[in-house]
Structure 1
Amino acid sequence: MAQTTAPPGVAVPPLEAFLRAECPGLLTGPLRAELLSGGRSNLTYLLTDGHRRWVLRRPPLGHVLATAHDMDREYRVLGALHPTDVPVPRPIIQAGPDVIGASFYVMDFADGDVLRDRAQLEAANPTALAGQLVDVLARLHRLDPAAVGLADLGRPVGYLERQVRRWGRQLAASRSRDVPGLDELGHRLGKRLPAHQRAAIVHGDYRLDNVVVGGDGTITAVLDWEMATLGDPLTDLASTLIWWDGISGLDSPVAAVPGDVPGFPPGSTLAEHYARATGHDLADLAWYLGFAYYKIAVIFEGIHYRAQQGLTVGEGFDRLGALVPDLVERGHGALTTPTSR
């Protein structure tokens, strides 16, 4: 009925029984599951019955940071955004831990490619890709949360202050070593919060390798909504810029960095495009970049913590801890920069 070797984190027979009972007609053949990615955030699996494909998302194995792997939130956001002009996969069903031992949800498979390899980036149209990435983000930030049923997704007032505190708590929960300057970076951020803060639906981890690009070069889906909330949209922009060229030169096993590939525009071009598309003032962007480095450093420390316990699933995640000192240094450098970019 199911494959003989199931990937870690998914019990295929009970999952298949659940889908057949709750979604009649969905499966037309035996269910199979394959791990697509894991270790950095929620685990992602490809499901197929030999005819159609779907994706299952569940929290990571072992040590899980509070609120950082919320299946209900992800599923709800997909349902709210699917009818809008922000492209997301159609959510199908969600369930608690009784079925496979952890909360999960299933969504449609988005056709296209996630551009994680340098060869994929070299084959892309860099200018068009950069424009698409910013345009989709701007469309997200222009949405009225109340109009799509997400008015209570978060509390925009005091968002940045809470974010700095939250990631400080996440660091404390995952501390397994001393990283010089990491705590100080959090303290510096907390002491110089931007005076003017905006409110919008924010993705929380928006970057090129969290979108699916179709054969025509357009973005067909935005993935990984586990940290979505109502907050300051410039946190999304800063995250995009860090992953675009802010970690250029680092030996990252996560994904290829567009800034390391000839022909790709610099992050400053993306920032200018975003400012034109939204009308937002980027005078305080330096702070947001510093915060983006801090957040990534804390996330990588959490992965390092799990890797030390043998609880990461996938390749390369045991190397992320080595990147944290450089991220911390770049975060301090961003805060020292007098201008945004």
Structure 2
Amino acid sequence: MSGQFRKSPLLLLLAALPCLACDTGTVRDAAFHAKRDNYRLVVAGNAGDAALDEKFRALEAWFAAQGPGLNVKVEREDAADTARLAAEFGIEAVPEEFPATYLCCWHPVLRGPVVARRWPGVPAPEEAAFLRGSPALEKARELLPDHWGVVLFSRGDGADRFPEVAGLERAWAANHAPGIGVVAVDRADPREALLVALAGPDAEGEDWAAVLYGKGKLMIPVLAGEDLTTGALDRLFQRLPVPCTCLQQALTPGLDLPLLWDAALDARYDPLAAPQGYAELRLDDGGSGDRTAALVAEIPEPKAGLGLAVLVPLVAAAGLAVGAVLGTVAHARRARKEGGG
């Protein structure tokens, strides 16, 4: 029988890529309906440590009081069970002294857990409040329900790239109502340390900007230095008004940030119709791979920072997988024609 589909590692890769329920609306709208990724705040210490257990119960009660809107779960683990710490949470380097606390998240490329941040000891409930959202994220949270998205902009010590951000803000206000929001991130503010660690290239250095959408999903890549242009930011935002499909979702990877999101924000959520002229991104280029290669070529070189290091390869992987699918489909079509149907 001609035109048989052959198994391919890239096809298997595409099958493994996450796909949200996105049969209606835009990519931006799908992010409001999808389940957010959860972070795990792991308190590791000696079993039977009564003082530690008391501190943990206080921390656990504080998290319970936040309700289901905070995508962080607190857990108590035995420090002696190093195999479980590594396999379940990605905690490979165990400190000599306990207790220690780890913020862990899921690595979508390695398909396993990684440590986003570590602290000595156990934070008091008031010290864990930063996980509800930093000052910048709290401002962005108010803008997300009724805007296409938000630019998080952080000024560094290099050339000022804010005019590039301002240019995009004006363009989207004029051409894509209701436009986008812009929020400044002060990387010198210790309350922004986690956001900078997850998104920013470094604590100093060049200006950087990130696109935030949905319920606090950070789009990849984050743009920094000379890569931060109005055109590059616009290309990222152009992914959001597109009708959502699984392929579109694979080409719009992101990292859900720790952020408290409540029912009042859901009530303010406003579905936005794609502007006239928007359609699903066409990837079928006859199997040549030219269009897919162009998409992958647009990805800037990754800077340091967990968000970039973790997720930039996913964009390239998605592009390559899509190219493989389209090439296989084109091959099957030609085979059917040559075989007389």
Q: What TM-score bracket applies, with the shorter chain setting the length?
A: under 0.3
Between structure 1 and structure 2, the one with the greater Rg is 2
TM-score between the two structures when normalised by the length of structure 2: 0.26
User: TM-score, structure 1 length as denominator?
Assistant: 0.26
